[in-house]
Amino acid sequence: MKVIIPVAGTGTRLYPHTFTKPKPMVFIAGKPVIGHILDRMVDLGPEEIILVVGYKKEQIISYVDSNYSDIFNITYVEQNEQLGLGHSIYVTRQAVGDSPIMITLGDMIFKSGYQDFYKKHFNNGECAGSIGVWEVDTPEKYGIVELNDGYISKMVEKPKQPVSNLGIAGVYFIKHPAPLFTILEGMMDNRRENEIQLTDALQGMVDMGLQLKHFYVSSWYDCGHASSLLETNKVLLDELKQTGDIDEGGCDGCDAVDSVIVSPTAIGRGVIIRNSVIGPHTSIADDTHIEGSIISNSIVGSGSNLTNVNLRSSIIGDSVNVSGKHNSLNIGDSSSIEF
């Protein structure tokens, strides 16, 4: 089986961070998003991973080649224009050939790992493919699948009057991809202004009489916008603490003096910390310098300088300088002041 991970998008919902780096390279819980995704793919042992790259592709290629080329057979396919998720799959048709495929989005991290999904798909038995779903509270905001007799009968993007609460999770298995590529080709030929949606192409498979089944996906972490990014950072750090991949209050490879590191916190190499309290739920990337600061529930990029700051729930990019002021107060009795 080959795996397709589309990572060509611009990631506008994560501006300003994605002005300078693609979404998969946004740093979270000690490594870029794409690192967390690929780590969870090792057990699956795919024949090949096809990364669909576009926006700021050099950063993704450089990171993945340096860290994962010994583990996976990786191919990069370029999507020159971001015409939608369906189009990002269409451009892989030559690289895929006749192999069965798994598609997973480049901005979703799933707790359980992909081998678990593959088993669920395998257990679905006879079918053309399986689509991962989860139960959502607001189906009108999601791509939704409708079921009939255990098979998917309909897929609708953001239905006005949803008849199901099964949201499309962003993991798909297709046993024989040829019909999917034929449908996508037809959609490209008839394209007007609109994006080529993968959901529409999968609906095309159902309309052809191909039988798609579903499987349930739990514990997924969305890295697509700032608020979900901090929540994802927190949950992943908790998970790393549970598995023992982050040592209690530790600061391996960093230089901390007169400071307290509150676990779970991930600190990169070459980080210098002085007179500070860092954590919990904080990720600090390589070569950052922090002095006289209190930082919790935050993500700090590499090569940044933070001095005399008190930060909570913050996302700080690479090569940033933030410096605060110490205040001096002379306050009388019974005063109440908030900074």
Q: Which CB sits closer to ligand UTP, 56 or 241?
A: 56
Task: Specify the stretch interacting with ligand UTP by CB under 6 A; choose among 6-14, 186-194, 246-254, 298-306.
Answer: 6-14
Q: How far is the CB of 137 from ligand UTP (least distance, A)?
A: 20
Query: What gap in Å lies between CA 86 and CA 82, rounded to an integer?
Result: 10
Kindly state whether residue 23 participates in binding ligand UTP, applying the rule CB under 6 A: yes
- Which of the residues 207 through 246 are near ligand UTP (CB under 6 A)? 224
Residue whose C-alpha is closest to residue 78's, from 55, 49, 97, 54: 54
- Is the four-CA dihedral 276, 278, 283, 286 of positive or negative sign? positive
Kindly state whether residue 10 participates in binding ligand UTP, applying the rule CB under 6 A: yes
Q: Which CB sits closer to ligand UTP, 87 or 281?
A: 87
Q: How far is the CB of 264 from ligand UTP (least distance, A)?
A: 26
Query: What gap in Å lies between CA 228 and CA 255, rounded to an integer?
Result: 30
| N-to-C CA span, the chain | 56
Residue 153 vs residues 71, 137, 158, 196: alpha-carbon distances, Å: 38, 21, 16, 20
| Contact track, ligand UTP, 63-92, x by CB under 6 A | ----------------x--xxxx-xx----
Q: How far is the CB of 138 from ligand UTP (least distance, A)?
A: 17
Q: Which CB sits closer to ligand UTP, 91 or 300?
A: 91
Number of residues interacting with ligand UTP: please give it, by CB under 6 A.
Answer: 21
Query: What gap in Å lies between CA 95 and CA 169, rounded to an integer?
Result: 24
Q: Which CB sits closer to ligand UTP, 85 or 237?
A: 85
Q: How far is the CB of 195 from ligand UTP (least distance, A)?
A: 7
Query: What gap in Å lies between CA 28 and CA 298, rounded to an integer?
Result: 9
Residue with tokens 């676990």: 263
Q: How far is the CB of 198 from ligand UTP (least distance, A)?
A: 9
Beta carbons within 8 Å of 271's beta carbon, 6+ residues apart: 251, 253, 254, 255, 284, 285, 286, 287, 288, 289, 290
Query: What gap in Å lies between CA 277 and CA 71, rounded to an integer?
Result: 37
| Contact track, ligand UTP, 30-59, x by CB under 6 A | ----------------------x-------
